Structure 1
């Protein structure tokens, strides 16, 4: 990949200090565990003073990822109660954040609530819930200490699986690079709900990252090398909501964070396949598919319209929502075989909104800067030099089981191709959706992706959702384009 040339901005101590102070306290809410000054001054008080308190989050088993074989008639009840589990965690995190009871008391209540909800899920599936009982227990997971002590398991989020591994800011291949002083955070404050990240060590100067992107495999004789591009714009702010119709259909605020939407204009918690077919679209070619992802916010201390709402400021998602500069939606081929048409209403999620507490097995989104696309990050936000834009790239699963448009955990019906392009046994290649979004982030302003409150706005939790609502004619046009090796749009 040819690297473009940009003027390299100088990431001075001032920039580091701004990242530390704003990233940790941008919502006017976080206490930081060390002075935000890049000079390491320990003096002062208030939110920039040393705090003798633990920092961490609530870690719970992700029940939804463990489900398989949910009877169709049980799906609505199961989905509703999975969303209730998320509500319970968010409420428990809020209570801890606002010091409403001891951590032991909050966790005890949370685990009791989860036990009852898991029993309801088990009953809906035709059992007594006993096989889910072991997933009731949540725990307090320490992330860092104010004294700068050791990190918990999630103090160093696991590296992602994408593009040959992560490259962090120490300029060395492999391994994670933690930030310096001022990087620790405390989930809570005297005055509000935010204060749940990001932290200073969630950011890295992209100019200090070594290239880490592997070259794609050479296409074989039967490979499909074309690309079908669809222009759907960058999203209408009026359509933003904190629902997730794939994971929590029929449940308002099922995502606990705000999404941007392009394509279909009728996506909310209560949409169904008929709703999507009857909806309008922002796509120039008439594609009624829905593409949606968490918004990115500048950590600038300013209030958005949702500052006092669920999904927004009430759940720690604060700061100015950044409208994307661009969103490129491409469908690509497979180096080993021709692709087959996606079924209508196929649902795919790439990335994992709970990867910080649940592990990185499904983490897949990557962050970079324009001009530096040969270096991709999954567990760091990039600090881009002057003239360079922040990029988010989502590579979707490109193998389908040939039968199902969804699955109980929303993953088993699709799969990633191996490095050589081969699909798992029983799966077939479909057009691979690749969505690249760019942002012009204000200078010296940290940013963060929206997320569940207990995920601390970590970059590894980024994710993207897609429901195929292309007409058969448009899907066949895309498949023909890709299989014939053309570039169409």
Structure 2
């Protein structure tokens, strides 16, 4: 009885205190390093090899590219399961995971080539991209090298709450990073103004795991959840007309643009509403979603000259969601801490001192090709400036969007794997292991034309406009309790060249940034804009307008302020007025006539179908509950079998004791 009881107590205690970090410890310098390395699957990026995608073939190609992502995610989950089993050898992993994956990819790649070939020149060399490689786990820099191999697969338990990262080596002490700020000098003709849009912090909790830019019409096309501010109608099935008619969380209702990025989570054992959903817990994205403390959206000018208007419905993705396996060439996220923003990290999460908040920022491409509002790879229609601020030949400067997102999260306790103070990390594709280098931001311009003209005039005339501005040309006053972080210093429009180190300046950039990259060449599939549209940048702007109280959005405001202020009704959506919006051209076309925004694209599903599409986060029905995952007592079925044996022994001892007492008397 005593032995059984002791076994129960020991096993329950061990399971309850098990941490997620998996073997961290300090080195000689006192920095915490992790010996953990997790194997992952590295598949060639098919989309980046496509050189031309006819417009009519785009839906089929997008669908197959999304299928390739799903196949990789499924194979990675199989790899995790194989790593938790014993007796696996390299041949078994090849037979059960890698070879079937190659066959599935070969079929999808063949369908992509067929779709393009039916309407244009069949792409060559795609067949060689079917095979993926098993990438062994990398040891922490300066620490012992991990020994993950094909026979091991993902290490049992992995790291992080979802079992696929992060690890201790994904973090760096911000105070150890050297300051480095280098901005190009501004010329006499520079556009020195800034324009800020206040769109809240997504306190209302608008999330989904779609990406309408990269995988339109595909639920869970991102395989990770996004925060949305601004446009409230963005999902995989949203047409241009849907976006134009949707509500907005922005204070000025003229800004219906969609701003979105992967959510940040605290891996504290919380079971979020998406714990059992695709894109969430089922794909290793686990823990409590953190609402930003501040979100600042600032548009700035060009150091050499004036900017022109962004075309309506322009799509821009900055960063690379697959940079961990693709390499850092397109990575473009910056991480820092309040009070230390002259120190920036690209491939590490910051460990901030007490009293300092985590700062996450993106600077978007600010050169436009003058014709296309999208491209086959979602990159080649826009570009970053050169170090001196100049745009590539044939490109013109447009306002540069900078997103600055602040989180009130503490530096995690790496020595115990985040058990004392939880780890934080962004959502990612499962096989990308929550690496900070995979962070990325997305933007769809749905400014109305009047407000876009005001923005351009404000920037070109050197004024500071928007909430917190100097009042000259301000378009909306800040709403009480907006929590939008408008006190941050606006961006200066500076960019840097690719290849910056972890100590780069605040806006490291890449020569070909993109989210889920597809191609390197502008194609006949590119959406096109009429040259006349860009003339709006030179028009005399109308007097700046101020948003009426009834137009202030209620969705992006902090919950505490919503509780004390009456809800402000959202205006009824009216049909989008005709604009000279760029539209998708017919196959083989490179330019199209002006068309109403409402006719650009038709929705592929009804509103009711979109509301129930898989991958969309349902409304919360209760407060988050403790999640039964690694390190929790809910693992009784897999980790507490010694306790069950102890209970059996204790009961057996009790029965024997009772029988002995009867025999005695």
Instruction: Give 2:137's aligned residue.
Output: 143
Q: Deviations over 1:29-68 (max 9, x none)?
A: 9673xx334489xxxxxxxx999xx732111111222323
Structure 1 residues 65-464: aligned runs within 5 Å: 65-99=48-82, 102-105=92-95, 106-126=97-117, 130-144=124-138, 178=141, 180=143, 187-189=154-156, 194-214=162-182, 216-286=183-253, 287-442=255-410, 444-464=421-441
Instruction: Give 1:62's aligned residue.
Output: 45
Q: Deviations over 1:73-126 (max 9, x none)?
A: 001110011000000000000001111874312111111111110010011101
Partner SS for 1:95: helix
Q: Is the 8 A contact 2:21 2:168 kept in 1?
A: no
Distance (Å, rounded) in 1 between the aligned partners of 2:376 and 2:207: 26
Distance (Å, rounded) in 2 between the aligned partners of 1:114 and 1:447: 33
TM-score (norm 1): 0.81
TM-score (norm 2): 0.60
Q: Deviations over 1:281-321 (max 9, x none)?
A: 00011100000000000121221111111101110001111
Q: Is the 8 A contact 1:55 1:184 kept in 2?
A: no
**2:458 is equivalent to residue 481 of structure 1:** yes
Most deviating of 186-195 and 79-88 = 186-195
Change in Cα spacing, 1:377 to 1:317, as seen in structure 2 (3 Å) is: same
Partner SS for 1:55: coil
Instruction: Give 2:526's aligned residue.
Output: none
Q: Is the 8 A contact 2:157 2:163 kept in 1?
A: no
Change in Cα spacing, 1:27 to 1:195, as seen in structure 2 (3 Å) is: farther
More strand, by proportion = 1
Change in Cα spacing, 1:480 to 1:190, as seen in structure 2 (3 Å) is: closer
Q: Is the 8 A contact 2:313 2:445 kept in 1?
A: yes
Q: Deviations over 1:156-177 (max 9, x none)?
A: xxxxxxxxxxxxxxxxxxxxxx
Give how far 1:267 is off.
Answer: 0.4
Listed as ranges, the gaps of 5+ residues in structure 2 are 1-14, 29-33, 412-420, 467-665
Change in Cα spacing, 1:376 to 1:27, as seen in structure 2 (3 Å) is: farther
Instruction: Give 1:20's aligned residue.
Output: none
Q: Deviations over 1:227-247 (max 9, x none)?
A: 000000011454200000000
Partner SS for 1:367: strand
- Quick check: which has more Rg, 1 or 2? 2
Distance (Å, rounded) in 2 between the aligned partners of 1:452 and 1:198: 13
Instruction: Give 1:162's aligned residue.
Output: none
Partner SS for 1:143: coil
Distance (Å, rounded) in 2 between the aligned partners of 1:348 and 1:395: 11
Q: Is the 8 A contact 1:390 1:440 kept in 2?
A: yes
Partner SS for 1:436: strand
Give how far 1:139 is off.
Answer: 0.3
Instruction: Give 2:654's aligned residue.
Output: none
Distance (Å, rounded) in 2 between the aligned partners of 1:282 and 1:291: 11
Q: Is the 8 A contact 1:184 1:199 kept in 2?
A: no
Give how far 1:264 is off.
Answer: 0.3
Q: Is the 8 A contact 1:249 1:270 kept in 2?
A: yes
Matched residues, number: 421
Q: Is the 8 A contact 2:50 2:123 kept in 1?
A: no
Q: Deviations over 1:169-202 (max 9, x none)?
A: xxxxxxxxx3646999883436999211111101
Q: Is the 8 A contact 1:317 1:451 kept in 2?
A: yes
